Structure 1
């Protein structure tokens, strides 16, 4: 998109472009999302950036009115399979915070210098700056939704020191952390205990963090909640309530501990209301990204519907379910195992090998077993445990599908299904289904429309 088109999007306050690019105003030193309701600046004063990190790196502060750091992610990173797309997905999952730039580069198979160069050229910021922008957003969220001490928030958000945290918040928001918290105007829950720095497995959950998981609309909520309800595995998932007011709840296995997520179907705005209960707040970023992938919240439904809505055999389906999403996975390795064994066997594996919660939460009693716990029983779990199959956010999709097809007993259809959901590939043709090449690059969404013609069933054992 050229800059003149971008400026027209800003003039019309077009929310479809929120997260796809950001604009900054030189006379104010502020950067915004395209739909910012403030007065439209003069064209000569506007600069455009592909990411919030790029705008911050050029000295601009986040607008306090439109909160550009809270927009959905760019759909481009879901579509792209190159090193930049893979890197962006991994940074979103918190890899730089946990493993540093060398860890990111190693996972991508490039040198740290090559990763830095490619990201800077394409998105205007390197991996450190991109991770820093994400940490700042996490910190703002915790400041405005919890009563956790500021020091705890600094480390929970991934900052290496309180000083680094304070400097970053002042630079990006032009406020101190305490002022940012005070100005939010949000009624905060009662104080909660500080989480231990290295919690043991099954450690007690701290009080929940309320979230608004933003998306660009439309969003067909009934279909995705129907699908999640049909495939829910007892012990780790449940869907409660009547259609339209349902809540999906599940346990999460995260880098530093475990968690429970709850997501509501009822619509209050262009977001999904959610709550996260974590044993370690350092997992907040990873948990949020996993929910975003599960609910396909960074998709561009206008682009999908515009393409598929003009095609024979799909036009009526798209008109009936505008904004239909292609659900991903909260845990890619779990999804792969479930796709192979089916729901009934998955429930047996949870009971036999899952990690029990110290205190069951309603119908949620376990965290799904790690691949190494199932490696002796399932070839796919063994392949995941020894690394011959990689399904992390930065995995090469072609390599992953090829490796899956080499797993004994795993069919091409199952491998394609895992690629669609565990790796969030928007353009997968599942063998045996009437999906056509002319439906590229959105064949996964076309497949969802075909499946949603019928009553929802457990599709995780194709």
Structure 2
């Protein structure tokens, strides 16, 4: 947790770099805010800092209506840390507590539920139930303010077990009823409609999708859109539009159904914007939290460019590269299994296209623009005739299907790395690349002509970002991402 003096100085200067890193609670008002809140700065003796919104809520504070502290980027700490708490926070953000409960979270981590609760409470001020509750409330607020769904549908779509629990939580966190929270928007929103493939009884979703603003810190370099355009898996992903006004689109296989995500490239019109425009079309709105987190991981939206620059900028080799692209991200993956399969195929569209056509699941309701399929599930590839699959896909698919290899958000990165290297045809470079992208590890080093392992040690814990800058500055980049 940040020290009191540094925290208060951030609040006094309204420093947006700390939004999501900690939250400011004011005892005299009973409200908690993000550090950059434009309200009058409270006296230091009246301020308490909390590492999470859930901790502030648990202490009895309600969210500020002016700065909306729940709508901030996530703390970059959880992507850096590889310990139990870091892994737990990544899984909770992915929605596992709502789907499988605390017992399911503990089972994924390999600890008892009591141990998980104790460590989370000690470090972030809230247990897994409270953290998941705060996340549900945020999802509910988004649905209330961006769709015309009935309040009852919003409650269950956000993951609440009952309407009463939903109403009580929203009043406690936002000091308003769900009806009062519902924003009055200009114009007429699209009528709610169930898309093709929606499960019976699933909450209806607006035909145009749920519009979202995915917050990030600092500038955002659009290089990731160029990378996604080069690597797009035919039928599963596409990038439309011209540079400066591109839109990334893809299909998503989600816990409750199918989804389509669209994210717009930040253009000159956005200036120094702090978000990416996104639209999610989901067969079941209970997948909202999971879909949002998968897109955040893909576009690396919880990164802290200032912290990266503070370390890498001291290196004479990297300093001019950071000045050239100050908002360069290290993209992750919307589907870790898909990323791993594509990586062992060197991410060549001609190789992945045949795999999708032969084993992918057609998109319910037919094609949507250039999107036609869901990427083949690991169990589907594992059950296929191995002689028909390109190597080393069969061994990788079998390891993913039987759990020998785990690439979910809470995976143990060292264990996953060892499991990858044990597979035939997967070398150190490919394993490291999968670790960097599929597991979102910010501290992976892969051999480059520009630097040795010894030199790269000074770049910890941001070696993945150093590689991104080096690859962006060299014409041949690397063996997988070469145009």
What do the CA deviations read for 1:156-206 (whole angstroms, capped 9, x no partner)? Answer: 100000110000000001111011004x54555132136799718xx9975
Equivalents in 2 of 1:259, 1:48: separation in Å? 37
Pairing partner for 1:323 from 319, 322, 327: 327
Give the TM-score, by structure 2 length. Answer: 0.92
Q: How far off its partner does 1:316 sit?
A: 1.2
The reply to whether residue 396 of structure 1 matches residue 396 of structure 2 is no
The reply to whether residue 248 of structure 1 matches residue 248 of structure 2 is yes
Equivalents in 2 of 1:458, 1:429: separation in Å? 13
Equivalents in 2 of 1:92, 1:369: separation in Å? 25
Q: How far off its partner does 1:112 sit?
A: 0.4
Change beyond 3 A, Cα 1:405–1:251: same
What do the CA deviations read for 1:374-413 (whole angstroms, capped 9, x no partner)? Answer: 1143210111001000000000000000000001111111
| C-alpha contact 1:251 1:261 (8 A) present in aligned 2 | yes
What does 1:153-232 align with in structure 2 at a 5 Å threshold?
Answer: 153-182=154-183, 184-185=184-185, 187=187, 189-193=189-193, 199=199, 207=207, 208-221=209-222, 223-232=223-232
RMSD (CA atoms): 1.9
Change beyond 3 A, Cα 1:205–1:58: closer
Q: Which moved more, 1:13-22 or 1:429-438?
A: 429-438
Give the TM-score, by structure 1 length. Answer: 0.96
Report what 1:338 is aligned to.
342
What do the CA deviations read for 1:124-161 (whole angstroms, capped 9, x no partner)? Answer: 00000000000000000000000111111101100000
Pairing partner for 1:314 from 306, 313, 318: 318
Report what 1:19 is aligned to.
20
What does 1:317-396 align with in structure 2 at a 5 Å threshold?
Answer: 317-341=321-345, 342-343=347-348, 344-357=350-363, 358-375=365-382, 376=384, 377=386, 378-396=394-412
Q: Size of the alignment, in residue pairs?
A: 458
What does 1:260-299 align with in structure 2 at a 5 Å threshold?
Answer: 260-267=260-267, 268=270, 269-299=273-303
| C-alpha contact 1:227 1:457 (8 A) present in aligned 2 | no
Equivalents in 2 of 1:220, 1:195: separation in Å? 33
| C-alpha contact 1:230 1:458 (8 A) present in aligned 2 | no
The reply to whether residue 134 of structure 1 matches residue 145 of structure 2 is no
Equivalents in 2 of 1:229, 1:456: separation in Å? 17
The reply to whether residue 49 of structure 1 matches residue 50 of structure 2 is yes
Change beyond 3 A, Cα 1:250–1:457: farther
Q: How far off its partner does 1:454 sit?
A: 3.6
Q: How far off its partner does 1:455 sit?
A: 5.1
The reply to whether residue 428 of structure 1 matches residue 444 of structure 2 is yes
Residue 274 of structure 1 aligns to a residue whose secondary structure is strand
Report what 2:390 is aligned to.
none
Change beyond 3 A, Cα 1:54–1:409: same
Residue 192 of structure 2 aligns to a residue whose secondary structure is coil
| C-alpha contact 2:252 2:260 (8 A) present in aligned 1 | yes
